[in-house]
Structure 1
């Protein structure tokens, strides 16, 4: 029986069914191409009682994050986003900062530069090692209440706890939140960044639905989730990152700010505080799929070459849902050397180094990490030298002139 992981209700309603896909970061080696791949249903549902949007926990974080293919520092704009965040923190010289899911040290490296004591908690040993190379102290572990208490006992309570793009990645919401509470000082603050379900729904960002994400938050559902582990939402910021995110500021005690009330009102106006607001999403997703496939088939029929840029997790949801294979997308490229020579899960599209685009001069480049549009439009400006054009599939198909 399907059960809401936040409130325990069994009343879950379908939002969109994307079929079955492999885990989005399990890129294949050439030796694996003749082996079977495990796929899992990718069906987003919403709890009709607490309105938490969620996927069933069919894979565990241990399966995904023990070794991980995503390195945050390969996005220039994301590193700059982290630098700006750290620069805005009011940190005393004796402060202690902890980041949960600290990845390759993309954020804490800026704390180290300020001479402030810090610790990263990162479950993936391979990306955690990259953080160590930047001088960022890193504990290889998943955050649990026990981990939080152990870190607090060894290092003392944290003045600031950061959890960027991880609050959706854990099936045990209450236990993870209790871990955050164990880490933070009684007068400290927790900063969480997570994709906003409001923009996901409004802008057809369905490709961010994948198995690593167990739930998708409105401010209303995040407020309930934080409370389940002993934290109070005191403020919220709307951010452009990842197509539209929220930065949640939480404390052990406090009162919600006016900004919290403002965003809650926006969500309510969009219908996301009741079931009806989710009703037409599946139809809009289907149109995105049809439009992209129509473009790719027409390009192939016209003898045009189309390649991809990027091999993000979201891209693999899109490729698998649309059934795109190398006959429609010859290859994709990525800045992360870990992915070079591998193949996208499910769709088996080769992943090459970015230099392949300049060598082959394709007619079109399909940009899979559309959330980095400004950054990548500049990086790929050279494509226009031979008349090539960039294609963005989300929120609707757009071919740059």
Structure 2
């Protein structure tokens, strides 16, 4: 049963009810060395829903400086699928919203510059906000102009004074990370040109519920958006939801487009997604209660399977030391005794341990030296890319363990 959290909604101040408690968790992207285990930071990972604006959000906020720091390990460019996605996004913005002489594009959470490099190469004025200094430096090497401050109302005012209004503010897998969304939206409204747009794409609550993708819930994902909650939130800050687009990346996302209220006519896609959410009950409490039951079932099934394989003497490794895998390992209690190691392409993670669960992270070459009997697919949102690359595993008799939407072996 849902319980009141004692805290109001971060967006509207309305009453919130806790819908899912996943327990004590570490920072999802903090991969410790074996000598650093005593310094791990933990918090309670729980999900709540606002009864007034329907925004789904975390109960407990992790300080942003703990998550987005110099050594933040995620690199958008390491995935060929995401490189293609962001290159296409940059080209689309250049052909639609960044066409006037002197056009200006701002990106929040620019990471290693994978999207803005396309804009920069076209000679368009731009600025990326990336507070994680290590990845920001990678963007600079690609010719991208970067600020290592956090985007909010105060910094937006500084950009407006120095560079003028933005035709586009863009963000991917970033806006849902920002508990201080009120300041971000005030900043966006201030910085946007009269006919400018704020375009952001984030994991979609509708897909998370449909797939029982509980691993999309972790410290960096503070908000879980729907068209209803985004529309209500935007309206509070003088902005209007004028377009939506479903995206297949990262297990299912929606690209939301906001504009100054009354400046653009909302597309038919907005009304269609609002209607679909209403029909499916995506924004209601009952959908979250069903989700909580699905999550508990997945944990039971996955742990039972892995214990059975261990008793049979089978070897199990995992593929993809993703941020969301921290939710799976810590909620399900998976450690090295059930999953021997995790392979990952990110050099900054290799030779370290997974957050909380302390499973060793190894480079991709270790996967075939020798192949395990089974591989737990943490990076399930990149399944097609991984399967195309790891044909040798299947040829050697290896089998993949999936847990989204249900636990199965393929």
Which interval holds the TM-score relative to the shorter structure? over 0.9
SS at match of 1:313: coil
Could you tell me whether the CA contact under 8 Å between 1:210 and 1:314 is conserved in 2? Answer: yes
**Aligned: 1:249 with 2:257:** yes
**Aligned: 1:7 with 2:7:** no
SS at match of 1:88: helix
Deviation at 1:15, TM superposition (A): 1.9
- Matched with 2:117 is 109
Q: Equivalences for 1:346-361 in 2 at 5 Å?
A: 346-361=356-371
Could you tell me whether the CA contact under 8 Å between 1:233 and 1:255 is conserved in 2? Answer: no
Q: Equivalences for 1:164-203 in 2 at 5 Å?
A: 164-203=172-211
Aligned match of 2:92 in 88, 92, 99? 88
Could you tell me whether the CA contact under 8 Å between 1:12 and 1:45 is conserved in 2? Answer: yes
Aligned match of 1:372 in 379, 382, 406? 382
Of 376-385 and 20-29, the range deviating more from structure 2: 376-385
Equivalent-residue separation in structure 1 for 2:90 and 2:126 (angstroms): 12
- Matched with 2:77 is 73
Equivalent-residue separation in structure 2 for 1:179 and 1:70 (angstroms): 26
List gaps (5 residues or longer) in structure 1: none
SS at match of 2:159: helix
Q: Once the two structures are superposed, what CA deviation does each residue of 1:30-88 show, in whole Å capped at 9, x if it has no partner? A: 2113x153321111011112111111243111221123121111111111101111222
Q: Once the two structures are superposed, what CA deviation does each residue of 1:365-386 show, in whole Å capped at 9, x if it has no partner? A: 1110111111111122221231
Q: Once the two structures are superposed, what CA deviation does each residue of 1:138-176 show, in whole Å capped at 9, x if it has no partner? A: 111101111111112111211111011111111111111
Aligned match of 1:219 in 223, 227, 242? 227
Aligned match of 1:97 in 85, 96, 105? 105
TM-score norm. by structure 1 comes to 0.96
Residues paired across the two proteins, number: 398
TM-score norm. by structure 2 comes to 0.94
SS at match of 2:348: helix
Equivalent-residue separation in structure 2 for 1:226 and 1:106 (angstroms): 27
Q: 1:274 to 1:384 in 2, by over 3 A?
A: closer
Could you tell me whether the CA contact under 8 Å between 1:232 and 1:250 is conserved in 2? Answer: yes
Aligned match of 1:270 in 277, 280, 304? 280
Root mean square deviation of aligned Cα: 1.3
Q: Once the two structures are superposed, what CA deviation does each residue of 1:292-323 show, in whole Å capped at 9, x if it has no partner? A: 11211111111111111111110010110000
